[in-house]
Amino acid sequence: ENLEVKFKQGLQCKILTDNKDGTWLVKFNKNKKELMKVVERIGKVPTPPYIKKIPAGVKQKYQTVFASAAKVGSVAAPTAGFHFTKSLLAKLKRRGVKIAYLTLHVGLGTFAPVKVDDIKKHKMHGERVEVNIQTIQKIVRAKEEGNRIVAVGTTSARALEGVLRQPAWQLLSQLRSGGQAIKTEVDIFIYPGYKFKIVDALITNFHLPKSTLLMLAAAFLGEKNKRQGIILAKKIYQEAIRKKYRFYSFGDAMLVT
């Protein structure tokens, strides 16, 4: 603690606290605007451990079309979003699909493996989430009208389930009295046996074995029977391997309903 680390171009930071989870609280010698300029010049895109060689132009490919430069904070992209283009979003809107956005700062824990035998003892990483009143109103209206909420990505599913667990009237009352958005940190761990309260369908990529992402997908597949969800997940992955689907970040996706 209280060590100083020096980088290129005059950037340095002081280590304030060891969080005991592989992360540290640090203080840089530059303000946010100056810091981000230096990071853009000398920083590297954090990629999953299975990507050994970073492809050329990965910074451009490793962004979703709905990512906002005004809300920098993620250390990884929500990879299910890679499948969407501006033209596809426009087609969905023309078909009557209502699209709602939230801000999610994906954390480094998305790469973290589960290291305990009893998954109930796994401590989930926290991720900062912001959901504005327009998005909450769209979700409440969809639920009231019997329409489905489709989450794009496991991280989005966790964000929705974590933030919107309160009754709708409490959420809207909280927003009206305290601002235009709910800002919080979500650390909900979703694994087989979990009952989804908000999300009705999920678009997700094919994930690493023993990952929390795969556990969430299995939970969704077996909401009524957790053992059945695990069995079904195995069958789906075996079929994907047989048909040579692409896995992981730049791979294919599936729609789970």
* Maximum C-alpha span of the chain: 56
pLDDT at 93: 95
Q: What CATH number should be reported for the domain whose range is 64-256?
A: 3.40.1780.10
With H, G, I as helix, E, B as strand and everything else as coil, classify residue 24: strand
Give pLDDT tens digits along the chain (257 positions): 578 999 999 999 999 988 887 788 999 999 988 998 898 888 877 777 777 666 666 667 778 888 887 888 888 788 899 999 999 999 999 999 999 999 999 887 766 778 888 888 888 888 899 998 888 888 888 988 999 999 999 989 999 998 877 665 566 666 555 567 888 888 889 999 999 999 999 999 998 888 888 899 999 888 777 788 888 889 999 999 999 998 887 888 999 88
Sign of the four-CA dihedral 214, 220, 225, 226? positive
Look up residue 164 and give its amino acid: L
As a whole number of Å, the CA-based R_g of the chain is 20
- The H or E element containing residue 177 is helix 168-178
Residue 24 to residues 14, 17, 19, 124, 216, Cα–Cα distance (Å): 10, 6, 5, 17, 27
Angle at 71 between CA 68 and CA 75, to 5 degrees: 90
Look up residue 181 and give its amino acid: A
With H, G, I as helix, E, B as strand and everything else as coil, classify residue 152: strand
Q: pTM of the entire structure?
A: 0.84
Facing residues of 17 across strands?
25
